[in-house]
């Protein structure tokens, strides 16, 4: 009889930072993807509101709804046996204030069985982080580039204001966040800030000095049109776009020339 794998928790991640064991985090948006990531030993599976751009083909994450986040998170959480499942709090619940954020985060955990939520924003979202953690809901922060503020930023760009980042990180740590994603921050700044924090940092486009790294499932696997390139901060470890396109083209050819189905594929 196989043993049930030991579940990763927010406390586990803190211990990983203390022991200098790098944290492996990836996004997933459905059951089979999460099942594969969990089996491969990923520590944290993030159900990101990036599903708006990655899955829905939209330009930003802003239109992703709470119901959509709950739906995708429930699929992922049902598959994960070991990994900590973290769900993004979609726009605009954190921006509306603590009461709305607590209600939305509670619905995510209640309906999906996620282990934690991720909230974008630093110093100005400290009251939201405190309210959600006081409600017994674990919070992962998100500082640096914040995609939910794209309308204000105007474009996705590297965040270089070290003093502002330091204030943001200190505020969310002091208000109960158990870890924080650092997005698009120069590597030397990330390294210094990571050394100053008691909670783990998980980088995306933030260099090797963070306590862990996160990549989007589709970027890592090259799961897009063959002519498309992964973002600068990502690395493609496979070329599924070409594999899928080639397989479907072979199937189509065999259907059209009568090779499929063969007698072996028929009852």
Q: How far apart are CA 146 and CA 155, in angstroms?
A: 11
DSSP-derived secondary structure for 83-102: SEEEEE--TTHHHH-HHHHH
Tokens 């989007």 locate to: 216
- Catalytic, 149? Answer no
Instruction: Give the burial class of 227: count Cβ atoms within 10 A of its Cβ; 0-12 exposed, 13-18 middle, 19 or more buried.
Output: exposed
Given a contact cutoff of 8 angstroms between Cβ atoms, the answer to whether 24 and 70 are in contact is no
* Maximum C-alpha span of the chain: 69
Annotated catalytic residue within 74, 107, 162, 183: 183
Q: How far apart are CA 140 and CA 87, in angstroms?
A: 9
Given a contact cutoff of 8 angstroms between Cβ atoms, the answer to whether 107 and 74 are in contact is no
Q: Which two tokens stand for residue 95?
A: 């921006």
- Known catalytic residues? 183
């Amino acid at each position: 009889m196989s043993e049930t794998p030991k579940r990763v928790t927010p406390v586990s991640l803190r211990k990983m930072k203390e022991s200098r064991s790098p944290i492996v985090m990836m996004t997933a948006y459905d059951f089979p993807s999460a099942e594969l990531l969990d089996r491969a030993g990923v520590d944290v599976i993030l159900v990101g509101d990036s599903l708006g751009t990655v899955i829905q083909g939209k330009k930003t994450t802003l239109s992703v709804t709470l119901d959509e986040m709950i739906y995708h998170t429930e699929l992922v959480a049902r598959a994960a046996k070991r990994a900590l499942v973290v769900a993004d709090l979609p726009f605009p619940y954190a921006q509306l204030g603590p009461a709305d954020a607590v209600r939305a985060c509670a619905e995510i955990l209640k309906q999906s069985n996620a282990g934690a939520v991720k909230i974008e924003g630093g110093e100005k979202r400290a009251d939201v982080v405190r309210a959600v953690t006081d409600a017994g809901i674990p919070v992962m922060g998100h500082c640096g580039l914040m995609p939910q503020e794209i309308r204000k930023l105007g474009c996705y760009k590297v965040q270089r204001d070290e003093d502002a980042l330091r204030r943001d990180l200190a505020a969310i740590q002091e208000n109960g966040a158990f870890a924080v994603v650092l997005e698009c921050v120069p590597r030397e700044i990330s390294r210094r800030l990571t050394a100053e924090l008691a909670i783990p940092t998980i980088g995306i486009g933030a260099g090797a000095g963070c306590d862990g790294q996160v990549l989007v499932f589709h970027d890592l696997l090259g799961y897009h049109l063959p002519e498309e390139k992964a973002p600068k901060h990502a690395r493609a470890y496979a070329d599924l776009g070409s594999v899928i396109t080639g397989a479907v083209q072979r199937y189509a050819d065999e259907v059209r020339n009568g090779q499929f189905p063969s007698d072996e594929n028929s009852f």
